[in-house]
Structure 1
Amino acid sequence: MSLSVLTGYASRTGLRERNEDFVGMATPDEPDLSTKGMLAAIADGISGNAGGREAAEYTVRGLLTDYFATPDTWPVTQAMDRVLKAINSWVQDQGAKRREVAGMATTLTALVLRGSFYYFSHVGDTRLYLLRGGTLTRLTTDHVWDRPEMQHVLTRAIGLDSRLAIDHGMGELRERDVFLLASDGVWGWMTEYDMTHALSEVAMQQAEPEATAALLADSALRAGSTDNCSALVLRVDALPEENLRDALSGSQQLPVPPKLKPGQELDGYRIEEVIHASQATLLYRVVEPKSNRQLVLKTLHPDRADDAHERSAFAHEEWLAKRVVARFFPQVIVPEQKNYLYYLSTWHDGQTLQQKLDAGAHFTAPEAIAYGEKLVRAAGALHRRSIIHRDIKPSNVHLGTDSELRLLDLGVALSELEKEGGIAALQAGTPSFLGPEQFDNAPPSRQTDVYAAGVTIYTMLTRHYPYGEVEPFQRPRFGEPVPASRYRPDIPLWLDNVLLKAVARDPAERFETAEEFLIALERGASNPMPARGITPLAKRDPAGLWRAVAVISMVMNLLLLYLLVLQ
């Protein structure tokens, strides 16, 4: 589904001799709609002569043309900033060269809707409002003198100064969001209550944007406005699935919150405790005051606030977490208002498998099989969404008090859209759970997750690893895996065989998919899988075989030489 937005505008001259406002919109076809978005802008010329109208019209027309000509690799904010500063230079140059338009300048408020985000650029005293859930919020700040008698005097405008300072902002889009871009001739003569009422009818589809824009402009004139009155109304009717590109772009805009303590608040969420702290991220248990429900808030560590790679990786993790809507994963909660870089997910009572093992928990074979089936189902749910977890291990397996198993932490996961977001597929994960082929720089695959799930179940039963523990930075050598029954004689033979196949050294000998692994666990003793034969040395360790042949040959030659010397 593509972004769908219904728009409408109105512009009235009022009691002025000419209309110095100018509004414009552009909605391109695909693929430009996805890569650049749609653009709406409103400008209010501020010269006392024809220059005001010319500045407003040139600024809007130039923005609508030049923005879509910027490179697709530029973030929206960068593209808007570059284009507007170039336009500012042209407007100021024209005002200096041409006497009839001396001092020409204009305000500007521009809105870009792309993917599931909105972006705005603003200078002057035109305004941008957002109506969401019945609440009207002004997103822009007027650039005027703060003294009462000079509140009509602008401090910033296109063409006013050679160095243009532009306000930029962004936020997440929601269906039925309604935006209003308005000149001061409208907002200066209407109350926010009246604007909220008019825009609410648009949100509830009881009025069309164009009719509402005309209503706002005409109402301002009836209220006594002597200025030009212009309004542009947009309603978001449908959103596309969140784009990784937009998520990465958004991550660069929001500030990282400081380290928080219990009792403090962030965007209205009260911090209860710090769940986990690493060098890169922080996890808090928080309470949402409105519903009193507990949630998990994850954010970057403040020390990584300026690390563009960490920001991109964090946004990538959030984007993936939103895609895995299933009972095997915590679900992402979208906040009403988000002013910092973080994401929220559901909180579930319970402990991780690692915490239970550390506390001395003992799992019977039937318990391990039941949990193993749920773990493999979770991995399969990821794979069906073309996501590879890459870090399945006991500390990322949560066993809830509601009897559900949930797979945690998509921080190093990969998806089929990696090329779109530019996330590097570096080797990641915990060494003892990495498939042997990954130590030879083979790319991660579904079978590397199958291997990690097999090792996790093996560890749950035995507290050991099939090939022994692998330390960080170690270059391990993999021989034959130790059967789990060596440590737990009560483990049935069929389960031993299933685990040995899951953790096979050669990916070709493992289960091809998580579903195949699941079937083997479910069939159990009723249809046991045959024991895996011992891998021949020539296949298991070709280099070792040739070294052995060389050693034997050398010994034989020395023995023959010795016999010849004796003769």
Structure 2
Amino acid sequence: MPLAVSTAFATNPGVRDRNEDFVGLVTPSGLDLSTKGLIAAVADGVSGNEGGREASEYSVRGLLADYYATPETWAVTQSLERVITAINSWIQKQGSIRRELAGMASTLTALVLRGNYYYFSHVGDTRLYLLRDKVFTKLTSDHVWDRPEMQHVLTRAVGLDTQITIDHGMGRIMLGDVFLLLSDGVWSSMSEYDISFYLSDFSENKQNSEQTVNELIKNALENGSKDNLTALVLKVDALPEEDLRDALSSSKLLPLPPLLRVGQVLDGLEVDEILHQSMATVVYRVHDLKANRKLVLKTLNPDRQKDVEELAAFAHEEWVASRAIARFFPEVVQAQEKNYSYYLTTWHDGATFEQRIGVGEHFLVSDMISYAEQLVRAIGALHRRSILHRDIKPANIHLGSDGQLRILDFGIAQTGMEGGEVSISSRAGTPSYLAPEQFDGESASPKTDLYAVGVNLYYILTRHYPYGEVEPFQKPRFSDPVSPTRYRPEIPAWFENILLKAVSRDPQNRFETAEEMLIAIERGASHPIVKPSATPIIERDALTIWRLIAISSLAINFLAIYLFIVSR
């Protein structure tokens, strides 16, 4: 079954003589629906000049037409970025050569629904909302000055500047989702509660799509809106069969690059250094010749071209990495000319903790406490995005020359949005950093990530593991962790307690969340947590204890028999 939606839109000049809003929607069928999806857009021309209406109309018409003309090998966000950037240049040029259009600009919010995922691109203060399971969410951020008296002044718009910065987002579509695009003439005159009320009626089939958009505009007018008003609504009625097609589309259609040497150029990217090469992947530091900046390029070895599982895992990795947006992670960068399957991230000067340990670098306890806070904040940022990293280790923790800690490598990460399409073993990861329960086949969880955080901090400080090093395919036995002060007596008691709690054998005794662990670090010695109590010997190794009891019992019995025989 293909993607199916119910949709409608309405636009009204309101109390003004001229409507500078523009709205458009394309709902293709067949191959275009599968490869490109449907696209909807709302634009609001900047008032105060003759070009507002022209800018909004051209932005929407140009986007809806040119999006379907972009190559099928391009990712959705890449297509939107390239088209909107071209539209921005055209509007800028018109404003410079036609005096009456000087300063012409427009906001623009576009939504693409393709397969099981939605994508949006946004500039300005038009808005995109999502109603899912009665939860109403604003997906876009207004690009306006944050001062109260300046909140009507745009900081970004199509045509406002020669360079344009576009917000992009994506997520999984769920059956029954309702998306709403609004111009500020509607949302500025209504509360989010009232907007969600009309969407709820539409979601529950109490009114149809046309009634919904007309009621929204009518209500905004009754509330005294002084601007043009536009509303566009879409409800997901049917979804195609679940797969990773959207994430895999580029990987399926594009070949893997050949192994590259330093100095070679691929898609305008010159190889500066081979950073890492394994059986499956290759990582290069490259120089973007056009943008004149250093980037990191990651791809698969060319012999993996026909390995469907590897391609799926790599596409999944890129998708997860693109969702990890915070200062704690390298940022995924869209390639300008992409003819091969790879992805790019920002380059940051510095070294991983594994590299630093390898050259004998010593870390002060005070510095490690600061790094611990950054590391826990980074893990918390991932967990808030429903991402489990699953391979936190010194090789994947980068400390930049700027003092910023960053998490690398999402090769085996899991996310709650993946729907199980990519199967990852419960024991995937580096054995010495896996939580005890994972060796028993239990699934990864936030607590297993936090356990790995504790092991990393322990190891970087002491060069030892709390339970000893674990070899691949070994089934380790866990007792109580060795106190880190055995190796580093200067570790304060409060921080030792945090480390021991983080690496507790029993997940029930660990930190529940990254936020809980962060609070413990921030409070430090002023409010120290209680030192975890030692596990009773009967709980640590019950089998051995019972064996000893049985052996002792047999020995006593034999001794009694012997004494009985001798006494006779």
What is the TM-score normalised by the length of structure 2?
A: 0.62
Between the aligned partners of 2:248 and 2:539, the Cα distance in structure 1 is 44
The SS at the match of 2:295 is strand
Aligned pairs for 1:502-513 within 5 A: 502-513=502-513
Contact 1:39 1:111 in 2 (8 A): no
Q: Which residue of 2 aligns with 1:258?
A: 258
Contact 1:38 1:112 in 2 (8 A): no
Contact 2:27 2:38 in 1 (8 A): no
Compared with structure 1, are the counterparts of its residues 425 and 111 closer, same or farther at alpha carbon in structure 2 (3 Å cutoff)? closer
Q: Which residue of 2 aligns with 1:237?
A: 110
* Amino acid across the alignment from 1:114: G
Q: Which residue of 2 aligns with 1:333?
A: 333
Q: Which residue of 2 aligns with 1:29?
A: 5
Compared with structure 1, are the counterparts of its residues 353 and 110 closer, same or farther at alpha carbon in structure 2 (3 Å cutoff)? closer
Contact 1:511 1:517 in 2 (8 A): yes
Contact 1:368 1:461 in 2 (8 A): yes
Compared with structure 1, are the counterparts of its residues 260 and 242 closer, same or farther at alpha carbon in structure 2 (3 Å cutoff)? farther
Say yes or no: does 1:428 pair with 2:428: yes
Aligned pairs for 1:301-380 within 5 A: 301-380=301-380
What is the TM-score normalised by the length of structure 1?
A: 0.62
Between the aligned partners of 1:454 and 1:305, the Cα distance in structure 2 is 38
Compared with structure 1, are the counterparts of its residues 447 and 403 closer, same or farther at alpha carbon in structure 2 (3 Å cutoff)? same
Compared with structure 1, are the counterparts of its residues 236 and 257 closer, same or farther at alpha carbon in structure 2 (3 Å cutoff)? farther
Alpha-carbon offset, residue 422 of structure 1:
3.7
Compared with structure 1, are the counterparts of its residues 470 and 424 closer, same or farther at alpha carbon in structure 2 (3 Å cutoff)? closer
Q: Which residue of 1 aligns with 2:185?
A: none
* Amino acid across the alignment from 1:369: I
Q: Which residue of 2 aligns with 1:175?
A: 80
Between the aligned partners of 2:33 and 2:364, the Cα distance in structure 1 is 63
Q: Which residue of 1 aligns with 2:152?
A: none
Between the aligned partners of 1:201 and 1:291, the Cα distance in structure 2 is 19
Q: Which residue of 2 aligns with 1:183?
A: none
Partner of residue 36 from structure 2, selected from 113, 122, 128: 113
Q: Which residue of 2 aligns with 1:529?
A: 529
Between the aligned partners of 1:115 and 1:357, the Cα distance in structure 2 is 51
Between the aligned partners of 1:390 and 1:465, the Cα distance in structure 2 is 18
Deviations 1:114-171 (A, max 9, x none): 389xxxxxxxxxxxxx988x9999778xxxxxxxxxxxxxxxxxxxxxxxxxxxx432
Between the aligned partners of 2:5 and 2:66, the Cα distance in structure 1 is 32
Between the aligned partners of 1:399 and 1:139, the Cα distance in structure 2 is 39
Between the aligned partners of 2:370 and 2:431, the Cα distance in structure 1 is 26
Between the aligned partners of 1:27 and 1:442, the Cα distance in structure 2 is 35
Compared with structure 1, are the counterparts of its residues 364 and 251 closer, same or farther at alpha carbon in structure 2 (3 Å cutoff)? same
The SS at the match of 1:29 is strand
Between the aligned partners of 1:282 and 1:520, the Cα distance in structure 2 is 39
Between the aligned partners of 1:344 and 1:176, the Cα distance in structure 2 is 16
Between the aligned partners of 1:457 and 1:412, the Cα distance in structure 2 is 21
Structure 1 residues without counterparts, runs of 5 or longer = 1-25, 32-36, 41-63, 68-79, 81-108, 117-129, 141-168, 180-198, 208-234
Between the aligned partners of 1:553 and 1:30, the Cα distance in structure 2 is 77
Alpha-carbon offset, residue 286 of structure 1:
0.8
Q: Which moved more, 1:424-433 or 1:295-304?
A: 424-433
Q: Which residue of 2 aligns with 1:277?
A: 277
Aligned pairs for 1:118-517 within 5 A: 169-173=72-76, 174-175=79-80, 237-239=110-112, 240=119, 241=170, 245-419=245-419, 421-517=421-517
Alpha-carbon offset, residue 372 of structure 1:
0.9
The SS at the match of 1:271 is strand
Count of residue pairs the alignment pairs up: 386
Between the aligned partners of 2:352 and 2:461, the Cα distance in structure 1 is 15
Between the aligned partners of 1:409 and 1:115, the Cα distance in structure 2 is 33
The SS at the match of 1:418 is coil
Contact 2:36 2:68 in 1 (8 A): no
Contact 2:376 2:518 in 1 (8 A): yes
* Amino acid across the alignment from 1:488: R
Compared with structure 1, are the counterparts of its residues 138 and 533 closer, same or farther at alpha carbon in structure 2 (3 Å cutoff)? closer
Between the aligned partners of 2:381 and 2:88, the Cα distance in structure 1 is 41
The SS at the match of 2:504 is coil
Alpha-carbon offset, residue 330 of structure 1:
0.4
Between the aligned partners of 1:38 and 1:28, the Cα distance in structure 2 is 13
Q: Which residue of 1 aligns with 2:554?
A: 554
Compared with structure 1, are the counterparts of its residues 30 and 396 closer, same or farther at alpha carbon in structure 2 (3 Å cutoff)? farther
The SS at the match of 2:272 is strand
The SS at the match of 1:175 is helix
Deviations 1:418-460 (A, max 9, x none): 3253434442111111111111111111111111100100111
Contact 2:387 2:415 in 1 (8 A): yes
Deviations 1:497-533 (A, max 9, x none): 1111111111111111111111111211111112211
Detail structure 1 runs of 4+ shifted over 4 Å in the superposition. Answer: 37-40, 134-140, 176-179, 199-207, 242-245
- The structure with the largest alpha-carbon Rg is 1
Alpha-carbon offset, residue 28 of structure 1:
3.4
* Amino acid across the alignment from 2:274: V
CA RMSD across the alignment: 3.4
The SS at the match of 1:285 is strand
* Amino acid across the alignment from 1:553: S
Between the aligned partners of 2:429 and 2:411, the Cα distance in structure 1 is 10
Alpha-carbon offset, residue 315 of structure 1:
0.5
Between the aligned partners of 1:517 and 1:375, the Cα distance in structure 2 is 11
Say yes or no: does 1:543 pair with 2:543: yes
Contact 2:67 2:83 in 1 (8 A): no
Deviations 1:276-326 (A, max 9, x none): 111111111111122211000100111211111110000001000010100
